[in-house]
Amino acid sequence: MRIYKTKDYEAMSRKAASVIAAQVVAKPDCVLGLATGSTPIGAYKKLIEWYEKGDLDFSQVTTVNLDEYKGLPRENDQSYYYFMNENLFNHVNINKERTFLPDGTEADSEKACKAYEEIVRSVGGADLQLLGMGHNGHIGFNEPADYFPKETHCVDLAESTIQANKRFFASEAEVPRQAYTMGIGTIMSAKKILIVISGADKAETVKKAFFGPVTPQVPASILQLHPDVVVVADEAALSRVEL
Ligand code: GLP
Q: What is the pLDDT of residue 232?
A: 98
Which atom of ligand 1 is closest in space to residue 165's alpha carbon? 7
181 lines ligand 1 (CB under 6 A): no
- Choosing from 67, 103, 117, 127, the catalytic residue is 67
198 lines ligand 1 (CB under 6 A): no
- Mean pLDDT lowest for which of 24-28, 87-91, 155-159, 200-204? 155-159
Residues 6+ apart with CB under 8 A from 42: 9, 10, 12, 13, 14, 16, 17
Which class would CATH give 2-200+213-233?
A: alpha beta
Could you tell me the pLDDT band of residue 17, with boundaries at 50, 70 and 90? very high
Could you tell me the pLDDT band of residue 84, with boundaries at 50, 70 and 90? very high
Q: What is the pLDDT of residue 148?
A: 98
Q: At what angle do helices 9-26 and 41-52 cross, to 10 degrees?
A: 50
- Average of per-residue pLDDT across 6-13: 98
195 lines ligand 1 (CB under 6 A): no
State which of 133, 187, 201 you would mutate to test the pocket of ligand 1, scoring each by most atoms of that ligand within 8 A of its C-beta.
Answer: 133
Contact 208, 145 (CB under 8 A): no
67 lines ligand 1 (CB under 6 A): yes
What strands lie across the sheet with 153-156, from one edge to the other?
67-69, 178-181, 153-156
Q: What is the pLDDT of residue 102?
A: 98
pLDDT tens, position by position, 34-83: 999 999 999 999 999 999 999 999 999 999 999 999 999 999 999 999 99
pLDDT tens, position by position, 168-192: 899 999 999 999 999 999 999 999 9
By DSSP bridging, strand 153-156 and strand 178-181 are antiparallel
pLDDT tens, position by position, 91-149: 999 999 999 999 999 999 999 999 999 999 999 999 999 999 999 999 999 999 999 99
**Where along the chain do its domains lie?**
2-200+213-233
Q: What is the pLDDT of residue 236?
A: 98
- Choosing from 65, 136, 142, 165, the catalytic residue is 136
- Average of per-residue pLDDT across 202-222: 98
Q: What is the pLDDT of residue 186?
A: 98
- Average of per-residue pLDDT across 186-210: 98
C-alpha 1 to ligand 1 mean position (Å): 21
Q: What is the pLDDT of residue 8?
A: 98
Q: What is the pLDDT of residue 59?
A: 98
| Average of per-residue pLDDT values in the chain | 97
Could you tell me the pLDDT band of residue 204, with boundaries at 50, 70 and 90? very high
Q: Whole-angstrom Cα distance, residue 121 to residue 48?
A: 28
